[in-house]
Chains A and B, each alone.
Chain A
Amino acid sequence: NAGVTQTPKFRILKIGQSMTLQCTQDMNHNYMYWYRQDPGMGLKLIYYSVGAGITDKGEVPNGYNVSRSTTEDFPLRLELAAPSQTSVYFCASRSRDGSLADTQYFGPGTRLTVL
């Protein structure tokens, strides 16, 4: 299993540009998450999904959109990029059931800079 994969690893955007961060998991997990991590600030939840077709806002959703058309994929869309969106973005997934239902598996992250 590859686990959680994210593309791209790095990206530089100009203010006002748009892009999609890709996230795929091959563990058949129901739950998927998008976080951003700013230096010294921990992880902040942007959006999450409890299954295909179902998404919900997290703590910091403004400026982002998500979709979940399949169990495996959970892309994050940035519209009209702003410097405040410069961050490292992590995708995560977890199983709904079982003894490790609270374990989130993280991808390697996408480092985004908006200039």
Chain B
Amino acid sequence: QKEVEQDPGPLSVPEGAIVSLNCTYSNSAFQYFMWYRQYSRKGPELLMYTYSSGNKEDGRFTAQVDKSSKYISLFIRDSQPSDSATYLCAMSAKGAGRRALTFGSGTRLQVQP
């Protein structure tokens, strides 16, 4: 079993839709949770960062962490064609475990105009 599971998609939605992206994980030591966005043939870039459980909102993006269920989500409101990319969840533990991230395999999102 992988430490972090993520549905690879592709997920195709019409412009303006609400998008929900999810990851599950098995390591209860994970404390720091991130979402990276990766456009085709580019390096990943940080989109959202959350520490421990709870919600965080930034513009059209909301990140949720439910540590009791070992489940994290990214919601995109009013999706745009420019949101078409691969979204990677990533997480790390405290202490020495904080040095490296464990990534999900990524979900490819296509927003149709």
Contacts and interface: CB of A to CB of B under 8 A. Distances in A.
Interface of A: 4, 31, 33, 40-45, 48, 50, 58, 90, 92, 100-109
Contacts, number: 52
B105 A42 contact: yes
Q: Which DSSP category, helix, strand, loop or mixed, fits chain B's interface?
A: mixed
24 contacts: A31-B99, A40-B105, A41-B105, A42-B6, A42-B104, A43-B44, A43-B88, A43-B101, A44-B103, A45-B101, A58-B100, A90-B43, A92-B43, A101-B98, A102-B98, A102-B101, A104-B44, A104-B101, A106-B43, A106-B44, A106-B45, A107-B43, A108-B43, A109-B42
Interface of B: 4, 6, 8, 32, 34, 41-46, 49, 88, 92, 98-101, 103-106
B8 A40 contact: yes
A102 to B, nearest CB: 5
Given A40-B105, A42-B6, A43-B88, A103 B46 contact: yes
